[in-house]
Structure 1
């Protein structure tokens, strides 16, 4: 049987060249497609938000010299990730003495490190819990019991640089963002009991009363004063709410879950043997709905040098960000005119961000055709046979 051989004629040489080009082109495309479909993705560690907080509770108190003792809880607020280990370094004033470390109510089950160095006035605590670790919005690490030994102001500080909170992510990522210490007043004798003062309330989850937050699970904590029997609390949407004084909280922490959107008021008052103190109020604002985002473009297929106009709008977004291909997001306004897009496929991402930080993202795909006839021929081949740009 005869073999056809085109190399002996000019026509054969041309056909041979075209066949080789097409074979190389489609062969490489098929190989790349096959590799992309069969090769497993290499998983990189997911980005973990660094938002955990270590807090001392109470943050302030009045202690009597000598017999006065105060139990100070180390409380961790992990944020949106679960954690499984905490390391805390604390330092305290010379007019305080550590008399006990207590594991009561701690989320930890393992305690590889519990050290009190009285000469350096330094406390080091390291503890953890097996998987899944701490999944709640807050947890007690350990309780340190202090005794007052001389009058004046006493400070207990958490050393941020030598403390850590580790995510349960398989990498032990440190997610500690900030710490809050405590200041205590030590007196010689216990004064006559006055009515409690207004309680200072704060929220590690919703710290700014003028801001909106997407978190539906607020946490409140407050400084516990010596001599207080308990605290009456109430969370409602009435700015003048009055908590029931017959139902008292013993601790300095209150958590709520799955609140509806809107403005909420946390009301708090202390009670001691002399009676009830004034009501304090703390405002939180919740908006957990992602913003609406409308995106329009004048055309999605252009030739090199043509301008692409993208319009976007939202009824409740405060900020718009735009990213072209693999570049970084940058602040933008509508309409957005894009020039000099590279040849081929470009994806433009538009983000709308509302007052609470909720994000909605849309994208527009633009194809830029080359003015070069050969490149446009290959673009046509990709579109016709591989359905890609």
Structure 2
């Protein structure tokens, strides 16, 4: 082979190698680009803010298609209906949606909003496209999370309805009472506007100013109500008893030089009722050989909601062999620990009392109790000691071996007897067949069997 041919082959091999590497790098590049472009996101703007009770505010639902062409959007949104109320679900002039599958829907009772729409071919590629604008009215103070639910979708314009929505950014908004325009108010019994309290007796105090002609106040469930113009005198405190559960608002204004001033609003939240009664579910059961039972529990609270659960496991001791709650003494009670449902803990054999408590945000709790027995299995293998039956009787491996040999011999003897019976029945069937077809030969065989039976060799 001359040098020219050798060089030509090197060039050809180098070109092939270069081409293969190029194709691989192109494939990697394309896969990276696909990963980069293969996601879409929905978000709110603004994503947070502080707004006064009684006011309205606007937020927009934005779409980022991640560099892809999309042609349809389904957005499902939830909001706290006790704090927010939808005034207007969409501003069509600002939305890129030009085909509504159904008109935007909302429910101020359920706290839900839904949008289903699309765009004409070839679709839309946007980094901040407005799906819709939403106007909320603030009903009460606190914090409100407006969430994009995981049932939402963004579909590619690929003819296959490929869902590329992978990111959802919720909105969190803080809702406050209007700035005080009247006397400064405080509550010794319910000092924090945003906290729930179990006491249904509420006290209020306000500043005493020398030029005050009188004050007018009221307590109701309207966050921005205004007291009437009837003076209650120059009081500086008032108390209310047996106030119902729920959010209430104290309103006060003062008269100065014959004219009424602005109003101050003060919120109090009362919940003196415990959560709803509940039961503890035990898996696999309240009596089991499983040392790791699973405890499940859940309940609701109508006003303030469930804050957390606490649980303690009280050992009632154990009787020998099996659990018997009548024959054991209660042991020392441990502390409650905060847990989440479902909860599991390894227990020894014995009897236990499971106590679960559900706490609401006001500190009220509901208690559930369940008795559980962890019993020994009928038979256990204990290392080199042998077999333990019912947790009481131990049989050493030596005796277990002897028992197995005896059992094996008994089984062999039983098989021999069964086999003998089987052969006898077969011969009887054969004799019956021969009687039908060869009676003389059958009679000779029967006589021979009888002789063998009477006079064995």
* TM-score bracket for this pair, using the shorter chain length: 0.3 to 0.5
Tell me the TM-score normalized by structure 2.
0.37
More helix by share: 2
Tell me the TM-score normalized by structure 1.
0.43
